[in-house]
Structure 1
Amino acid sequence: MAENGDGLGTVPEHERILQEIESTDTACVGPTLRSVYDDQPNAHKKFMEKLDACIRNHDKEIEKMCNFHHQGFVDAITELLKVRTDAEKLKVQVTDTNRRFQDAGKEVIVQTEDIIRCRIQQRNITTVVEKLQLCLPVLEMYSKLKEQMSAKRYYSALKTMEQLENVFFPRVSQYRFCQLMIENLPKLREDIKEISMSDLKDFLESIRKHSDKIGETAMKQ
């Protein structure tokens, strides 16, 4: 009877050990298991039977839990696959949207570059027009000078030269054509001087040749 009492006393002890194993850190299980072998004879056999029963009980609980959550797991997998499909579609849409944005961005960049280029051209044209408006009066005045020279209106030509030097040339002195005109004025003055001297000599020579006739005519009057 004492042996049966010891056997009955062993069962609660085994349950305590199992509870301790389940709740104890793995590193501390060794001393607990050692106590099984330090107990009564054949205690470890009974402990193994109790352990197997405990394992079967846990297996049943796990199976029960799995059966209980199986449909939820299946639904979760189905939903996950659906989400994956939606994610793939969204990825395609995002990629397509990104590509279209990039294409649109490239087009905007090209248009912006065209606008910048047009504005630069417009600014250059405006600058050219302003410079031409500044230069045209000088060119017109110089053309007038050449016409006066051709028409032998030397006095008017000298007046035009003065206007060019004092009024018009200072406005466009930075341009090469103006420098050429300025350099040409002394030659034009020299030409006027030579032509005027030649005309004066011709005039005086003509007077000398006709002086007798002029004197005779004057005496008659």
Structure 2
Amino acid sequence: MSVKTKKRNVTEIGGDTGEESILMTMVNNGEDLGPMVRLSFETGKPESLLQQLKNVVRKKEVEIEDLCKLHYEDFILAVDELRGVLVDAEELKGELASDNFKLQEVSTVLLLKLEELLESYSIMKNVTEAIKMSKNCVQVLDLCVKCNTHISEGRFYPALKAVDLIENFFLHNIPVKTLKILIEKRMPLIKMHIEKRVCSEVNEWLVHIRSAAKNIGQTAIGYTASARQRDEDMLARQRKAEEQSCLGLGDVTYTLNVEEIDEKSVLGALEHVSNSIVEAFLSDSVKRFNANAVMSINHDLKALESFADDRFQSTGLLAIYKDGSFRDCLIEARQLINLLLSSQPENFMNPVIRQRNYNALDYKKVATICDKFKDSPDRLFGSLSNRNSKQSAQKKSMDTLKKRLKDFN
């Protein structure tokens, strides 16, 4: 709507007198209309003022209406655009909600998978650490078992090597505190025990050597004297044979006599060795012995038996006495060693078995010797390894034999 139209409409409402112009100016400026109202009542023309005010009101209403008409179309367009924006906003809100829901679903699954993955990594790490710790413990325990075995079998040098490995390479890596403390406490005890055992065995060996020195010397002297006598007898017989050869006597008698002399001397030696072995076990100087000592004597006895077989064969007696042997001279020592090394020594009390395997042994001698046999296994790591069931069974059987021999005596 143009300004020209606005002026026309205002003029049509009422004349624009000077007083109305003043009044319009005062209203537009927000001035106080009190003096003018007072003047109109004093002059007796309030109606005129009222009419002028109404004209001003109508003019303002026309201006407001024109202003509203002027911005109405822009308002309608703005409202339409706002509605469009609201629709787009609702659509966008719906899309965002849908995308958020999908994202939540996907992220929830991924979060669960991530938690499972982290838990798996944690478990794998713990399992790896546990396996590493277990390997260290197994290696240490294996060395402890080997150390026990070496000590129980009298192999002290390998036992010390095992202790050295544990101390220098494994002790500081043991993850289990209780096991580490136990092994740390056992190390000095093991070394002290080995030292005592070695000193004890050396002392026993020295005692045995002192006790057997006399027998060894006598045996050596006997061998020397026998050899000298044999040589003298052989020379004498050789001279006699040479004299008899002139008369036509055969050489067979000479050969047989020489063989008989060699057989008297070998039997005088083997029987003496067998008796010496038994007497050594019975000697008051030997207070105690174990399986290691028995196995050592068994080794020497086997060598003597082999020597006896060779001598029996070299003298030609094997061709004459096919079922005979010089090792029969060692029968008492052999049966005693077999009894001490037997897994069931209590079978000695069985008459049938005793007659078959131990007929050369005397009850009282066996009782005295078995009472000195104390072969309890030394296991300083006893809490870390199982006991040897075979040794335990043999020990029980030996204890049973000792008791029955005491009752018998």
TM-score by length of 1: 0.62
Cα shift readout 1:32-72 (whole Å, capped 9, x = no counterpart): 46435525623313313312421441353255246534632
- Aligned twin of 1:159: 157
- Aligned twin of 2:211: 205
More helix by share: 1
- Aligned twin of 2:55: 50
Measure how far apart 1:186 and its partner are.
1.4
CA distance 1:66–1:13, change in 2 (3 Å): same
Matched residues, percent identical? 6
Q: Provide the C-alpha distance between the structure 2 equivalents of 1:149 and 1:186, rounded to a whole number of angstroms.
A: 12
- Aligned twin of 1:38: 39
Q: Provide the C-alpha distance between the structure 1 equivalents of 2:181 and 2:161, rounded to a whole number of angstroms.
A: 19
Q: 1:79 aligns with which of 60, 79, 84?
A: 84
Alignment of 1:111-150 (within 5 A): 111=116, 113-114=118-119, 117-118=122-123, 120-121=125-126, 124-125=129-130, 128=133, 131=136, 136=139, 143-150=145-152
CA distance 1:83–1:46, change in 2 (3 Å): same
* Bigger CA radius of gyration: 2
For the Cα contact (< 8 Å) 1:141–1:164, is it kept in 2? yes
For the Cα contact (< 8 Å) 1:169–1:178, is it kept in 2? no
Q: 1:21 aligns with which of 15, 19, 27?
A: 27
Higher relative contact order (CA 8 A, sep 6+): 2
What letter is aligned with 2:21? E
Cα shift readout 1:92-117 (whole Å, capped 9, x = no counterpart): 24753674586367447625642662
Structure 1 unmatched runs, 5+: 1-7
Q: Provide the C-alpha distance between the structure 2 equivalents of 1:110 and 1:12, rounded to a whole number of angstroms.
A: 90
CA distance 1:34–1:90, change in 2 (3 Å): farther
CA distance 1:21–1:109, change in 2 (3 Å): farther
Equivalences, count? 202
For the Cα contact (< 8 Å) 2:147–2:163, is it kept in 1? no
Matched, 1:185 2:186: no
CA distance 1:71–1:203, change in 2 (3 Å): same
- Aligned twin of 2:169: 171
- Aligned twin of 2:65: 60
CA distance 1:167–1:121, change in 2 (3 Å): closer
CA distance 1:167–1:114, change in 2 (3 Å): closer
For the Cα contact (< 8 Å) 2:144–2:162, is it kept in 1? yes
